[in-house]
């Protein structure tokens, strides 16, 4: 008996090898129990001790896959271990990689795309299990180009027909803000810039929700919005010491990269906060600007739902209201004619300015369309007119008769031979 194992049913050590079709198995000679049914190979020490080995760790895997696919599978496992993902995530990512690799378009792709495929399978698995992981994190670990990664990601999702939910914004905020180095005093972070993690995270979540409600997140990369919201939350908690700090210096202190559109997202957030501040009477007299409004972010967020309704209006609702007002105005037209001159002065009061429309930034500032340059026509009027087109220029019966006589004369001249 190889390995000195025992039968799991009767405990006997009388185990013999029995060939069942093409697979060799160990069978107990006393009770007939098949001991090693399902074991794939017999080269690992665990298999010699009658322990099952997963297919991904067995030697049978290398007999059916190519060298390139083996390398990709190893990369998937290594990436999952670097990210400290659960074992079930690793198995799912490997299964997706194997399914994608069966397609001819993936097998014949360039090496750069195959490297990106590893990260795409891991990202899809994390999204399906609601694991907070961003595309930028995967690209940083794989040294991959973001455009190539996003294109490959969409191709794999469509190719495999997967249902990938969108990333939860709250989980992404918690994960991203946890990487900021602003929660303990160090040589690079002064004491006045250190902030409590829970307070900063709570206010950042409120600002991100505000940005989401005002169309600043839709269709955009979330990290620039989160970076701008985190900066405003950090400033508003101690504005006296932090208003002089710029966004670039903040990212340097927090030891995070500054996304390129973060400055634009910051200006858009400040513009929304200023509109909300205009609705509070005790803030209207202060004449706030984009710098001083940071001091009152806490008050604005406390009543943000009401202030958003007051500061912005819905385009569809406004159209319906205008139609109703027009209908009411026509009904009241006859009654207004009977009102005296004294009541006309009351009707001439100025109407208060209506709030701005709550629309996505792409609709408020649409991109300019390039007008196509029309080709310059160089028609001089001396061009020859073909016989098939000349009928379009004939208008009167006299012109038709003249044209027929000219055609007959031209035919007669060509039929008469030249004199000797």
In angstroms, the CA 265 to CA 389 distance is 61
In the predicted model, what is the mean pLDDT of residues 285-295? 91
Same domain (yes/no): 156, 82: yes
Residues 199 and 97 grouped into a single domain:
no
Say whether both 187 and 298 belong to one domain. yes
If DSSP codes are grouped into helix, strand and coil, which group holds residue 132?
Answer: coil
pLDDT at 343: 46
Residue 162's domain comprises 67-167
pLDDT band per the 50, 70, 90 thresholds, residue 318: very low
Residues 179 and 202 both lie in one domain: yes
Domain match, 184 and 260 both: yes
Residues 288 and 174 in one domain: yes
pLDDT, mean of residues 121-145: 88
Note the pLDDT tens digit of each residue in 220-247: 888 899 999 999 999 999 999 999 999 9
Please, what is the average pLDDT of the chain? 79
CA of 372: how far to CAs of 366, 369, 379, in Å? 18, 9, 21
Q: Let me know if residue 354 belongs to a domain.
A: no
Which of 279, 309, 339 delimits the end of a domain?
Answer: 309
- Kindly give the pairing relationship between strand 312-313 and strand 356-357: parallel
Inside any domain, residue 224: yes
Work out the pLDDT band at 267, boundaries 50, 70, 90. very high
* Token pair recorded at residue 104: 């001819």
Task: Indicate whether 345 belongs to any domain.
Answer: no
How far CA 153 is from CA of 162, 188, 238, in Å, comes to: 11, 38, 41
How much of the chain exceeds pLDDT 90, in percent? 29
Read off the tokens for 68: 């390139």
Which pLDDT score is estimated for 342?
Answer: 46
- CA distance linking residue 328 with residue 343, whole number of Å: 19
**pLDDT in the model for residue 39:** 46
At residue 340, the pLDDT reads: 46
Please report which residue ranges of 332-356 form alpha helices under DSSP H: 333-337, 341-347
In whole angstroms, how far apart are CA 199 and each of 45, 210, 235, 404, 412?
54, 17, 12, 96, 104
Tokens in use for 244? 């002089």
Quote the DSSP letter at residue 61: G
Interval 139-146 mean pLDDT = 88
Average pLDDT over residues 2-16: 72
Shared domain check, 80 and 186: no
pLDDT in tens, 27-57: 787 787 777 654 444 444 544 555 555 555 5
Q: How many CA atoms lie within 13 A of 220 on its CB side?
A: 22
Residue 272: pLDDT band by 50, 70, 90 thresholds? Answer: very high
Which of 119, 152, 167 delimits the end of a domain? 167
Instruction: Count structural domains, the chain.
Output: 3
Confidence band for 202, pLDDT divided at 50, 70 and 90: very high
- pLDDT one-digit tens code per residue, 346-404: 444 555 556 667 777 777 777 777 777 777 767 676 777 676 676 666 667 887 788 78
79-131 residue pLDDT tens: 999 998 999 999 999 999 999 988 888 888 888 888 999 999 999 999 898 88
Percent of the chain with pLDDT over 70: 75
103 and 131 co-located in one domain? yes
């Amino acid at each position: 008996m190889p390995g000195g194992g025992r039968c799991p049913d009767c405990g006997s050590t009388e185990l013999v090898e029995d060939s069942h079709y093409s697979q060799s198995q160990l069978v107990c000679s006393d009770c007939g129990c098949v001991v090693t049914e399902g074991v794939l190979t017999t080269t690992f020490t665990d298999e010699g001790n009658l322990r099952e080995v997963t297919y991904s760790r067995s030697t049978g895997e290398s007999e059916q896959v190519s060298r390139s696919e083996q390398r990709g599978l190893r990369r998937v496992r290594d990436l999952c271990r670097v990210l400290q993902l659960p074992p079930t995530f690793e198995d799912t990512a490997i299964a997706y990689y194997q399914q994608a690799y069966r397609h001819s378009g993936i097998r014949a792709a360039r090496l750069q795309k195959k490297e990106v495929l590893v990260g795409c399978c891991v990202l899809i698995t994390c999204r399906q299990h609601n694991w907070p992981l961003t595309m930028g994190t995967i690209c940083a670990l794989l040294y991959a180009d973001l455009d190539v990664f996003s294109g490959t990601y969409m191709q794999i999702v469509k190719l495999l027909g997967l249902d990938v939910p969108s990333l939860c914004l709250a989980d992404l905020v918690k994960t991203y803000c946890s990487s900021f180095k602003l929660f303990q005093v160090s040589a690079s972070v002064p004491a006045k810039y250190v902030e409590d993690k829970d307070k900063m995270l709570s206010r950042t979540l409120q600002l991100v929700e505000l940005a989401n409600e005002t169309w600043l997140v839709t269709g955009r990369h979330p990290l620039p919005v989160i970076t701008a919201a985190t900066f405003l939350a950090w400033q508003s908690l101690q504005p006296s010491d932090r208003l002089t700090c710029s966004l670039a210096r903040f990212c340097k202190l927090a030891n995070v990269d500054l996304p390129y559109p973060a400055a634009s997202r910051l200006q858009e957030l400040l513009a929304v906060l200023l509109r909300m501040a205009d609705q509070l009477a005790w803030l209207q007299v202060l004449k706030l600007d984009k710098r001083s409004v940071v001091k009152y972010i806490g008050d604005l967020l406390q009543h943000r739902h009401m202030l958003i309704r007051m500061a912005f209006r819905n385009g569809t609702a406004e159209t319906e209201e205008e139609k109703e007002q027009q209908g009411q105005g026509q009904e009241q037209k006859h009654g207004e004619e009977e009102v005296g001159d004294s009541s006309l002065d009351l009707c001439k009061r100025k109407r208060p300015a209506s709030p701005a429309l709550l629309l996505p930034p792409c609709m408020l500032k649409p991109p300019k369309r390039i007008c196509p340059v029309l080709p310059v026509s160089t028609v001089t009027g001396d061009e020859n007119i073909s016989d098939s087109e000349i009928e379009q220029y004939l208008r009167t019966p006299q012109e038709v008769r003249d044209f027929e006589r000219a055609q007959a004369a031209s035919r007669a001249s060509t039929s008469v031979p030249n004199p000797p």
